[in-house]
Amino acid sequence: MSTVERVASERGAGARRLADRAGKVRELGILLALLLVVAGTAFSNPRFIEAQSVRDLLLNASIVALLAVGQTIVVITRNVDLSVGSVLGLAAFLTADAFAANHELPVAVGVGFGVVIGLACGAANGLVVALGRVPSLVVTLGTLYVFRGLDFALASGQQINAADLPGSLLALGSGRLLGVPNLVLITLIVVLAAWFYLRSYRSGRQLYAMGSNPDAAVLAGIPVPRRTFTAFAVSGAIAGLAGALWAARYGTVDAAAGTGLELQVVAAVVVGGVAIFGGSGTVLGAALGALLLSTIAGSLVVVGVPAFWQQAITGALLLAAISIDRLVALRLAAALRRTRNGGA
């Protein structure tokens, strides 16, 4: 290897290390902010860190964190899925309706039914985005209303109550394993599985390449339409799973379930360090972002801060995260320019 090639290789490795380091710093920053919020609130009200309070915080964040996993997979491809709240609502109602009609339905089968509903919705989004080449923002904004309208049409004003559901489903939502709520464990399993896939599998790494430079991804032979379709299908399937778990946790389900949840999910993903323009970020960071936002909301309630400030703080965190992403992107672009100049 010549001296020039060796220098270029070293600079390329430096750029990659910078990208990895930036991601780790973001996640550590979120974790530090989370610890500061918890410590500050506990100082004001020690009951905030009692075991039941911690479980409630984790439960409150679990559904959003679960949706954030699917949203992360979509966002790193330089797309967005605004329909996840509506998909959750549709899956929650149809799953609850299926259990209400048949109390003998196995829990795994019923939850799988919710996943299939979400998968179908996600596949519809993916087909239009990948094959129709329509911007995902437009497609999923439209399907947000389509899926919600379908939900209202099927519900016809009906509400399913906990008394209508079998105890096996409700036990899934309220049960614990070794003191940890079932929903939290399921969310953790999904987060770790997605993290391992994106980190260890070639197709997972290709999603990052698509988000970083779509044109280069095509030239490199990456099947961009197929990967885009898969990302939306996975996001829909996870939203369907979240809908089934929503029914298990709350018991009472109507056509309005999950309304507005998509904005919380996008905020969690961006605050968690996933670049809104694609190409970087992790599902671990997105899950931490969901937990941070949930903890902030809980702590503000504990200290008696009005609900308006909860929304204002969430918005401020979102703007700060986007600004940090921009600064990091400029640093990485400069590092890559130095790499190219060094290899010339």
For the stretch 138-195, pLDDT in tens is: 999 999 999 999 999 998 888 888 888 888 888 888 888 888 889 999 999 999 999 9
Q: What is the CATH number of the domain that holds 211?
A: 1.10.3470
Count CB atoms within 10 A of the CB of residue 339. 19
HSE-CB of 10 using CA atoms within 13 angstroms: 8
Element (H, E) at 180: strand 180-181
User: If you ran DSSP here, which 8-state letter would residue 177 be given?
Assistant: E
pLDDT in the model for residue 118:
95
- Distance, in Å, from the CA atom of 249 to the CA atom of 265, rounded to the nearest integer, reads 19
Distance of CA 236 to the CA centre of its chain: 11
Q: What is the mean pLDDT of residues 280-305?
A: 83
Please report which confidence band the pLDDT of residue 228 belongs to, taking 50, 70 and 90 as the band edges: very high
Residue with tokens 């309220």: 174
Question: What percent of the chain has pLDDT above 70?
Answer: 84
Please give the pLDDT value at position 341: 60
Check pLDDT > 50 for residue 7.
no
pLDDT for 303 equals 73
Helices (H), 45-135: 51-75, 84-101, 107-130
Count the domains in the chain: 1
Domain extent, residue 83, equals: 3-343
Percent of the chain with pLDDT over 90: 34
Cβ neighbours of 51 (radius 10 Å):
8
The residue length of the chain stands at 344
Supply the pTM of this predicted model.
0.85
